[in-house]
Amino acid sequence: GPIILLVVGCICVYALQRVADLRSTPVFCIVRVLMIIDIINIVIDRIHDIPDEIVDNEIFGPGWVTIVLLSQCIRWFAQLLALPMLSGLHFLTLYRPVRFLKLRLVHGYLIVTLFMSLSVLLTVPLLTECCGYKYYINGAYWNYDFDKPGTALYTLLNQILQV
């Protein structure tokens, strides 16, 4: 499963990078960044999960598990925030094609910078005292910590973003 996704993702990113017409469009810039985020997340998850499955115990410390958690959350928020932006670009191609053709690669990088910085900002509260996460089984399974006061607001924000 994940290894096939990793290989297909790498091939797609390579293909997007090789074709000059696709490489210079803002839409494919955003898609390429999202695919790279997926690849990084799969690699980090596999580095963590495969040794744990072999030993049948959590062998990494809380620091590495926090890195896994952060990579998953940053990917989650990046995809949540990028999809409306891609939808907006799609709307622009249909109803304002001349304006869409004026977009350059720098606009794609600005959009990527916007949704990546927002996704990091939305992930940071998980490391604070007001809302965060807790581990259930030896550092392996985590979920939001509802004992903390801001967690209910944070999960509500997640649900609103999903809609």
Q: What Å distances lie between residue 95 and 6, 88, 89, 91, 99, CA to CA? A: 35, 10, 10, 6, 9
Q: For residue 117, count other CB atoms closer than 10 A to its CB.
A: 11
DSSP string, 41-87: HHHHHHHHHHHHHHHTS--S-HHHHHHHHHHHHHHHHHHHHHHHHHH
Q: Is the full-model pTM beyond 0.85?
A: no
pLDDT in tens, 35-45: 999 999 889 88
Residue 13, φ and ψ in degrees, nearest 5 = -65, -40
Q: What is the percent of the chain with per-residue pLDDT over 90, rounded to a whole number?
A: 33
Closest-CA residue to 50 (of 105, 115, 1): 1
Query: What mean pLDDT do residues 114-142 have?
Result: 78
Whether 127 has a pLDDT exceeding 90, the answer reads no
Residue 14, φ and ψ in degrees, nearest 5 = -60, -45
**What's residue 135's pLDDT?**
66
Query: What mean pLDDT do residues 3-13 have?
Result: 89
Domain range for 46: 2-162
Q: How confident is the model at residue 58 (pLDDT cuts 50, 70, 90)?
A: confident
For residue 37, give both structure tokens. 């985020």
Whether 92 has a pLDDT exceeding 70, the answer reads yes
- Residue 17, classed as helix, strand or coil, is helix
Domain count, the chain: 1
CATH number at residue 21: 1.20.1070.10
Q: How many residues are present in the chain?
A: 163
Q: What is the percent of the chain with per-residue pLDDT over 70, rounded to a whole number?
A: 95
**What's residue 129's pLDDT?**
76
**What's residue 91's pLDDT?**
93
